[in-house]
Amino acid sequence: MRREELQELLNRYLAGECTPSQKRMVETWFNQLSKEENELPYAPDWDIVKETIYDRLPQPKRHTRSIWLSVAAAVVLLVIAGSLHWKTSPTDKNDVQAKTESALKEANQIMLTLSDGKTLVMDKDQQGIRIDNMSIRYLDGNYPAIANSTESFDVRAGVKLSTPIGQQFRVVFEDETEVLLNAASTLSCPKVFSNDRREVHLDGEAFFKVSKNKDRPFYVKTLNQEIKVLGTSFGVSAFAEDETVKTTLVSGSVLVQPKNTRLAGVELSPGEQSILAKDKLRKEHVDTDSELSWLDGSFSFKSDDIQSVMKMLQRWYDIEVHYEGQVSKERFNGVIPRSESIDPVLELLEKTKSVRFKKEGRRITVMQ
């Protein structure tokens, strides 16, 4: 990654404009740099800038305040072009740049993060992993390796699986429950379920096939709701940056309970979808094939505005989206295959005559 691209990425992070995958890239880089306690130069308003970045870091990823302030300094060093200079030799600069590029490249991979902070980079040629009370293995039986380490690892306290833009990954648990994690999503789970409940946490989108066990109900927790399952298959779309959380039931039954206790939960039957938005929960009958079209490699739009459409595309393609002029109020319907490139998708959207695109590298400008 060139210096200019890195500066743009960090500026987007500070402005709160990163996609989930870009945000994860920056925070993975933070985590990498937190292990390096290099002395960095002083700049005007240094403390204010450091505090601003520090306050935006996710709580679980903070090690100690002193280390994170050093990390924040490293970020500002690249964000404020020309205002700072390294106090190290060219060799040291090259080493830091190499570490930065390595961390960012690693963040574009499917990642398994352990409770002690160690990370495992998943083999992109593998279809998924199996987690049980003895080990973590790929579905073909091979063991994954810890990134840049030959140490053993302990996953008793749980793991977190994260997918980048444009990639999916499968998880099979010891009870044969399966989860297919969609792109730009994160699934957190224990290595071993408790005797009375099975529980996972989702940020993003996933499809679940839950093994039936009435004595150990399965729970899927998201930012705004909890789903109780006895044995069924269903999809959940719960990206933290989206205004709505959708749960689509294919078979069995589930109980969807908002975390806002003033709202009553709803029980879904096959072919129904719950929609939680703005402290309101409702359910409706849907075409499950259309709602879960991502399982078959397609994008499905159902009365979606252009901003919702572009969010879907961002989670699959490595693009930056900008808007010029008045944003179209047109609603889009239909199913579009995920192509090898984004160009055919944009061409199909332009055929509606309600929106136009200007493509400059990764930057896509949406115009009316």
Mean pLDDT by 10 residues, the chain (368 residues): 58 66 61 45 42 50 42 42 38 49 60 83 90 83 60 60 93 94 93 88 96 93 93 94 94 93 90 93 94 92 91 90 90 83 89 90 90
User: Each residue of 20-45: b (16+ CB within 10 Å) or e?
Assistant: bbbbbbbbbbbbbbbeeeeebeeeee
Please provide residue 201's backbone torsions phi and psi, each rounded to the nearest 5 degrees. -120, 135
- The predicted structure's pLDDT at residue 195: 87
For the full predicted model, state whether its pTM sits above 0.85. Answer: no
| Amino acid at residue number 50 | K
Show the CA angle centred on residue 301, arms to residues 300 and 307, nearest 5°.
Answer: 125
Q: Report CA Rg, the chain.
A: 22
Q: Where are the alpha helices (DSSP H) in 276-354?
A: 288-291, 306-314, 343-350
- The predicted structure's pLDDT at residue 63: 42
- The predicted structure's pLDDT at residue 29: 56
- The predicted structure's pLDDT at residue 361: 87
Please provide the size of the chain in residues. Answer: 368
- The predicted structure's pLDDT at residue 82: 34
Contact status, residue 140 vs residue 107, Cβ threshold 8 Å: no
- The predicted structure's pLDDT at residue 278: 83
3 state DSSP class of 32 = helix
- The predicted structure's pLDDT at residue 359: 92
3 state DSSP class of 228 = strand
- The predicted structure's pLDDT at residue 352: 84
Q: Provide the 10 A C-beta neighbour count for residue 72.
A: 23
Half-sphere exposure of 206 (CA within 13 A, CB side): 27
Contact status, residue 28 vs residue 13, Cβ threshold 8 Å: no
Report the C-alpha gap between 142 and 160 in whole angstroms: 19
